[in-house]
Amino acid sequence: MTGDDENTGDTSGSTSEGNLELFFDLVFTFAMSQVTHLMVNDLTPRGFGRAALALLAVWWAWVGYTWLINTFDTTNVGHEAAVIAAMAAMLVAATALPTAFSSGALVFAIALLAVRLIHVAKFLAHSSRDDADLRRSIRRIAPAFVLAPACIVAAAFVASPGRELLWVAAAVIDYGAPAVVGLGGFRVSPSYFVSRHGSIIIIALGEAIVELGYGATDLHQFDVIVALVLGVAMNATFWWTYFGLSSGAQQRLEQTTGTERAHLARDAYSYLHLPLVAAIMSFAVGAHAAVAHPTTALPLLPAVALAGGTALFYLGDVAYRWRDHRQIPTDRLAAGLAAAATLPALLHVPGVAALAVLTAIGVVRLAWELWQRPRIGTGVAGHAR
């Protein structure tokens, strides 16, 4: 939701997310939990691969509506009804998601297609009343928003591995179209974009907390309680890493204008926040296993999820900050590499010890940032909060 001044760099018309967007996020909270359950219930390379494909589809649906609501200031009953209709379709898709590669493939695909068709219809309807550059950009990119879910519909009629290959094709279309076509003419409200993506990180962290709780099946074990506390501490280090100790993200968007701002929002948020969300969800899978069996060593894939998810979060944050601020924060880079290096050890220590090691890495990184705080001042080292 923004005014025309967003193309000029004037942020006086910027808005933050409203109740409708938070209401809309409820179905994506459920969808993300379903993606996590795909991995928890199928701890195999196939299960992890299918979960990755499902997350790509779910994430891009959320991204599409973030751009839609950001671009047009349409606070009216018709707009709200359309968003709620998309919620209903997304809920059907999320409910079918655990069986999206088997018996529920067609239900998931048609529901996702409905979500996208509502999105495209809203974009095209509003672009007809807007500037010519925006209208041309929307008409160039709109076919991709329909073709990608159409590939998933087609996948419902194809056996594996063809089914998975069509999902890959859908992801290539979704994620490739904005890079190939460009986003010239699109407007971006800095405060809205920063606020929305902060909310989705909170949702992912919330899903990790839920998985920690689900893993704690025997609270009579002291080790289970310790593992839960360590899991919360680990989530806290993620929260602190992302939201940081100083501001900068919103100011960075405000300093850009026009197409440059749209491309920065595309890269830093639509693209580079996906690894952060995927990392938290992967960590949640590994942490679930560690809490469920705190006194035994983790199997290979849960250990990969735990160490790999932690590493991906820190390295993904490095990538985001490089694109957004042109910084390479050495503390996050070192933490990511250290987390990845713990994988061999995690295969030979109890689950609670694995959580302790990774939590220690996060605490050391945080301590370093706190120690460096007087030196970095109030620049762009942290996220906008």
pLDDT at 377 over 70: no
DSSP 193-258: HHHHHHHHHHHHHHHHHHHHHHH---TTSHHHHHHHHHHHHHHHHHHHHHH-SS--HHHHHHT--H
Range from 10-24, 210-224, 338-352 carrying the lowest mean pLDDT: 10-24
How far is C-alpha 210 from the geometric centre of its chain's CA atoms?
A: 17
pLDDT in tens, 38-52: 898 889 999 999 999
Task: Compute the mean pLDDT over every residue in the chain, rounded to the nearest whole number.
Answer: 87
- The per-residue pLDDT for 127 is 65
pLDDT at 281 over 50: yes
Threshold 0.85, pTM exceeds: yes
**Using 50, 70 and 90 to split pLDDT, how confident is the model at 117?**
very high
Q: Taking the alpha carbons of 372, 317, 207, 224 in that order, is the dihedral positive or negative?
A: negative
pLDDT at 9 over 70: no
379-385 mean pLDDT: 41
- The per-residue pLDDT for 75 is 66
**Using 50, 70 and 90 to split pLDDT, how confident is the model at 23?**
confident
Q: Pick the residue with more confidence: 246 or 266?
A: 266
pLDDT at 233 over 90: yes
How many Å apart are CA 279 and CA 312, to the nearest integer? Answer: 5
- The per-residue pLDDT for 128 is 61
